[in-house]
Structure 1
């Protein structure tokens, strides 16, 4: 597995692992990760088959990706970490919490894709296409290169697995303090469609300006929210454009 890491924060600093989205590398997570690397031992791996990591055949499913991530923990000497995921990275984090609960300290789920809102598959493809127009133009060369390398058939298989995975409905498996962040203009995520969130006291939910790839498009905002989550502070972010709304999901 190819990875990026920074341990300048020191051996005693908490570990933080950033988990990227569907068919793409961890490169687009670097803006947020770099802001947090001053206080945390920071790791940004490319999951197997994606980015610059080797491509196993057949490609792993979400459970396989979770196991691979724990294998990365073992190699890097990470006993326990806070996991910060985006899109596909969120179901991977939930799988880690389900199978390896002793390895996760806290969780931050940014734009958690998967589940009924992304079904059927054709609907999810339309949602992803719509999101492409809402992301910064600078995201295009990163995504295009990584998607082409991943391949069309692998993309379709993994994308279908992601859309079938009940990400928000599986949040009860995350018993650690969890922050869910959703962009108000994200066509792939509808927080209000997940009534299970209303009965989980360890989960905080915020909506923010932006679309799906918030770790790339709004790194200062996401870093501020992660810091607040880590320290139990009010979920606010700095800057005039960082309008954060904490929400409560009612049981439908």
Structure 2
């Protein structure tokens, strides 16, 4: 029997209204290779505003991860671009390429089609991998970068070495792409420093059915491509000013990866570690994260090679 009421679907529609009320419109850019990039873009871009691209991580879609950031960033003078990565939300592609480099090329092409040729980038978790690639591949377009809980410095050997709570990619995919309530509960426990105490099974099943069953094969391939043969020595060093934000108690991408990334980037980067927050620091501490994003883009000054704990 078809479900008569879905809390998840209703919430998703509510986010649609929130984004529209904030002055954004849904766009679909079809690229030359047949890929389609869905993006919330300004209805009336302001030449006096700074374009800012917000890239989500694994999860529902872009709206669920960035809804709380719209009003504060818009009030601070940003024109926001909030895309769905390929195989999330309304974005998809016929090509078999699952690399974050391909995601980066598609987003860069969509931004150019939307008229944003020079912009800042904020990438959360997997979105940080894509943001990093965009900065490396398109330095003429990307001005500055914020990476939130983005373990771009991980190596494939870290899995076997015990750095993560999982020891292989298949186990990681079963958690990041939950198809059963126990896996979604596990993901929540790993992602949040203070997870919700009550997660009714009916609500979990509803969320899984609405948000977690589409493009499972393609998303699994994204995870495999992210880790396979990954070496720090192959990671280019981006030159843009970069802010790294991390939850102190991140259990998905341990804090060691934040320090590894800071060492890799050197003096052009700054690391902020937020207390009492896990991997989902963008949701647990959204106000603090948003303030750091605004301060970085509006008044950036290179560090004296110091970290900040807040």
Per the TM superposition, whether the score is higher than 0.5 is yes
Taking CA–CA contacts closer than 8 Å with sequence separation of 6 or more, which of the two structures ends up with the larger relative contact order? 1
Moved more, 112-121 or 67-76: 112-121
Conserved in 2, the CA contact under 8 Å of 1:124 and 1:163?
Answer: no
- Structure 1 pair 29/150, CA: closer, same or farther in 2 (3 Å)? farther
Provide the residue aligned with 2:295 in structure 1: 228
Inter-partner Cα distance in structure 2 for 1:42 and 1:118: 36
1:10 corresponding residue in structure 2: 46
Q: Does 1:96 align with 2:96?
A: no
Structure 1 residue runs without a partner (length 5+): 236-244, 248-252
How do 1:153-168 residues align onto structure 2 when only pairs under 5 Å count?
A: 153-164=217-228
Task: Choose from 242, 247, 253 the match for 1:178.
Answer: 242
Contact 1:23 / 1:155 at 8 angstroms: preserved in 2? no
What does residue range 197-236 of structure 1 map to in structure 2 within 5 Å?
197-198=262-263, 200-208=266-274, 209-230=276-297, 231-232=299-300
Structure 2 matches for 1:20-31, cutoff 5 A? 20-22=56-58, 24-27=60-63, 28-31=65-68
Provide the C-alpha distance between the structure 2 equivalents of 1:246 and 1:22, rounded to a whole number of angstroms. Answer: 27
CA distance in 2 between partners of 1:167 and 1:105 (Å): 26
Matches within 5 A, 1:48-197: 48-58=86-96, 60-114=98-152, 115-116=154-155, 117=158, 120-122=168-170, 124-125=172-173, 128=176, 130-133=186-189, 134-135=191-192, 145-151=210-216, 153-164=217-228, 173-193=237-257, 194-195=259-260, 197=262
Cα gap change, 1:195 to 1:86, in 2 (>3 Å): closer
CA gap 1:144/1:29 in 2 versus in 1, 3 angstroms: farther
Distance, in Å, in 1 between the alignment partners of 2:140 and 2:290 is: 25
- What's the offset of the Cα at 1:3? 1.8
Distance 1:155-1:214 versus aligned 2 partners, 3 A rule: same
TM-score by length of 2: 0.66
Structure-2 change in CA distance of 1:201 and 1:164 (3 Å): farther
Shift in CA distance, 34/156, structure 1 to aligned 2, threshold 3 Å: same
Q: TM-score, normalised by structure 1?
A: 0.79
Contact residue 6 and residue 37 of structure 1 kept, 8 A? no
Q: Secondary structure at the match of 2:253?
A: coil
Greater C-alpha radius of gyration: 2
Q: Is the 8 A contact 2:173 2:220 kept in 1?
A: no
Q: Give the whole-Å Cα distance in 2 for the aligned partners of 1:150 and 1:26.
A: 16
1:179, 1:104 → 2: CA distance?
14
- CA RMSD in angstroms comes to 3.2
